[in-house]
Structure 1
Amino acid sequence: MTLSLRERMETKLKAAFAANEIEVIDESHKHAGHLVHEGGAPQGGETHFRIRIVSPAFAGKSRVERHRAVNALLAEEFAAGMHALALEARAPGE
């Protein structure tokens, strides 16, 4: 069985950051009908995501450092067609 992009990202994030909490939400449907060159989603989705993640790995890291770490981990997904990522990355207790 082939995993969806959402499932692959969730697996990578859990493994890399030992997340206490993680939510990967496909928001591509919110962009349906827009022109692809304007950032809209093509038919089939899996281009626009929101990630909410809480991990001890983010303790002491700035917001920019957290975003860079997640973006670097998901570089392959961006290269494969993921267009946009909204990210909420926190350390426990924040």
Structure 2
Amino acid sequence: MLPSVLRCARPISSQLASTRPLVHISPHMDPDPSRPVERVIRTKLTDELKPDHLEVHNESHMHAVPPGSESHFRVLVVSSKFEGLPLIQRHRLVNEALKAELSSCVHALAIQAKTPEQWRSNPTLAKSPPCMGGSRGDHTVEEKLKAGRD
């Protein structure tokens, strides 16, 4: 059972963080235990949306946060639950599933929500633009990361 609110995890050492690539997590893979936020995102989206395909990418290293942070994510969710729903409704389903994380540890979440038919016709994941440094002045990110270390 997952906690109702997940606190931010401590960053891993900067040496490990600098060599870690983006992680592709599909429904059959066990997530990295050193990444609790990523694990919870994967578990909650799997439980709520029963995806045919799921990718969770920690993009925190692309932003002005401490090495090893779990604060910026991109997800690709392919689910039949999206059939007939406009994009805004699909995003709302994802946001609702991750409500606790979005109000605590996760500062940014980019969502691609596709139906299985859309995925079959275009199986690609969009890339995030480079960070322009906007989070450097956002003290809520620092507070959330600090709260996870307490």
Identity across the alignment (%): 37
Give the aligned partner of residue 6 of structure 1.
38
Please tell me whether residue 20 in structure 1 is matched to residue 88 in structure 2.
no
Q: TM-score, normalised by structure 2?
A: 0.54
Q: What amino acid sits opposite 1:6 in the alignment?
A: E
Give the aligned partner of residue 70 of structure 1.
94
Q: What amino acid sits opposite 2:53 in the alignment?
A: E
Unaligned runs of 5+ in 1: 35-40
Q: TM-score, normalised by structure 1?
A: 0.84
Unaligned runs of 5+ in 2: 1-32, 119-150
CA distance in structure 2 between the partners assigned to 1:45 and 1:3 by the alignment: 9
Q: What amino acid sits opposite 2:115 in the alignment?
A: A
CA distance in structure 2 between the partners assigned to 1:80 and 1:2 by the alignment: 18
Query: Which protein is bigger by CA-based radius of gyration?
Result: 2
Give the aligned partner of residue 79 of structure 2.
55
- SS of equivalent residue, structure 1 residue 93: helix
CA distances 1:18-53 after superposition (whole Å, capped 9, x unpaired): 10000011000000xx3xxxxxx2443100000001
The alignment yields a C-alpha RMSD, in angstroms, of: 1.5
Higher-strand-fraction structure: 1
CA distance in structure 2 between the partners assigned to 1:25 and 1:2 by the alignment: 14
Runs of 4+ off more than 6 Å: none
- SS of equivalent residue, structure 1 residue 72: helix
Please tell me whether residue 89 in structure 1 is matched to residue 127 in structure 2.
no
CA distance in structure 1 between the partners assigned to 2:53 and 2:40 by the alignment: 16
